[in-house]
């Protein structure tokens, strides 16, 4: 795809509040999600999961958890994006093994990654070791640049990773002729209960997907001049 084609794609995508009852062709949504898994993530840990809801019972429970917003029932499918708090424990070694086998990294990088990720993500004994990192980070920042520490701000870190995948999903869906709407208006605990999502996962966004009821959807954006700041604010 060249830039002009991508520009048209990005400009044409918009949140769709009403969907046709038309079903999504078999296999199409899985193809879109297969594309979505190629979204970037910090250290390539890939903490994002997709919980797909198409059955009437689970969709109704999800509808109640999403403040009875009609698009949850109108769309033929809803994808709930989650972030795994235990992604390092669950994915790091498998990811590094795959990266080494494919030649995407070398032993030196793998060793460095294990060390750095351990320091950044480990929450210590009983899960309270992050308190020490919370206190140390401001002191370190006095003498040198110090990034946000995932062990301290794990939900913040996970939200960033999941939303990279969510945006990839929405653009891929648009390219496949599907419409989407990202939703933040929901009760996270009830969404987890409705779909049996483990408490070790956070839920940053819920995205109904299908075919837009109207094909003449408009959207606007504020001008670039008010958003771009050259060489500083």
Q: pLDDT of the chain along its 233 residues, tens only?
A: 799 999 999 999 999 999 999 999 999 999 999 999 999 999 999 999 999 999 999 999 999 999 999 999 999 999 999 999 999 999 999 999 999 999 999 999 999 999 989 888 888 776 666 677 777 777 778 788 877 788 788 999 999 999 999 999 999 999 999 999 999 999 999 999 999 999 999 999 999 999 999 877 788 999 999 999 999 99
Give the model's pLDDT for residue 148: 78
State which H helix or E strand residue 70 sits in. none
The contacts of residue 28 (CB under 8 Å, 6+ apart) are 176, 178
**For residue 75, is it within any domain?**
yes
Question: 192 and 172 in one domain?
Answer: yes
| Number of structural domains found in the chain | 2
Beta-carbon neighbour count of residue 1 at 10 Å?
Answer: 9
List the domain range (segments joined by +) for residue 206. 3-85+154-226
Question: 168 and 112 in one domain?
Answer: no
**For residue 146, is it within any domain?**
no
**For residue 47, is it within any domain?**
yes
Question: 13 and 81 in one domain?
Answer: yes
**For residue 25, is it within any domain?**
yes
Euclidean distance between CA atoms 208 and 96, whole angstroms:
33
**For residue 191, is it within any domain?**
yes
Question: 99 and 74 in one domain?
Answer: no
Give the model's pLDDT for residue 145: 86
- What are the percentages of helix, strand and coil residues in the chain, rounded to 5? 50, 15, 40
State which H helix or E strand residue 23 sits in. none
Question: 174 and 101 in one domain?
Answer: no
Domain of residue 58, CATH code? 3.40.109.10
Question: 9 and 76 in one domain?
Answer: yes
Give the model's pLDDT for residue 207: 98
Question: 110 and 22 in one domain?
Answer: no
Euclidean distance between CA atoms 151 and 24, whole angstroms:
40
Question: 81 and 109 in one domain?
Answer: no
The contacts of residue 98 (CB under 8 Å, 6+ apart) are 104
Question: 164 and 80 in one domain?
Answer: yes
Question: 168 and 182 in one domain?
Answer: yes
Question: 103 and 80 in one domain?
Answer: no
Question: 194 and 79 in one domain?
Answer: yes
| Predicted model pTM | 0.92
């Amino acid at each position: 795809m060249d830039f002009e084609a991508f520009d048209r794609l990005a400009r044409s995508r918009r949140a769709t509040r009403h969907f046709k009852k038309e079903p999504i062709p078999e296999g199409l949504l899985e193809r879109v999600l297969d594309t979505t898994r190629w979204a970037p993530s910090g250290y390539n840990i890939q903490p994002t999961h997709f919980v797909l809801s198409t059955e009437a019972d689970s969709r109704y429970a999800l509808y109640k958890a999403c403040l009875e917003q009609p698009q949850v029932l109108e769309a033929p499918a809803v994808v709930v994006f989650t972030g795994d708090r235990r992604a390092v424990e669950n994915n790091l070694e498998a990811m590094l093994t795959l990266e080494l086998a494919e030649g995407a990294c070398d032993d030196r990088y793998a060793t460095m990654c294990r060390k750095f990720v351990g320091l950044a993500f480990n929450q210590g004994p009983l899960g309270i070791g992050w308190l020490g990192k919370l206190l140390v980070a401001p002191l370190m920042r006095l003498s040198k640049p110090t990034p946000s520490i995932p062990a301290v701000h794990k939900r913040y870190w996970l939200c960033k990773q999941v939303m990279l995948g969510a945006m990839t999903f929405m653009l891929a869906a648009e390219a496949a002729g599907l419409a989407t709407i990202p939703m933040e208006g929901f009760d996270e605990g009830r969404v987890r209960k409705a779909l049996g999502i483990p408490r070790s996962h956070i839920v940053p966004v819920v995205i109904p997907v299908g075919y837009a009821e109207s094909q003449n959807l408009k959207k606007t954006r504020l001008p670039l001049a008010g958003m771009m700041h050259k060489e500083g604010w």
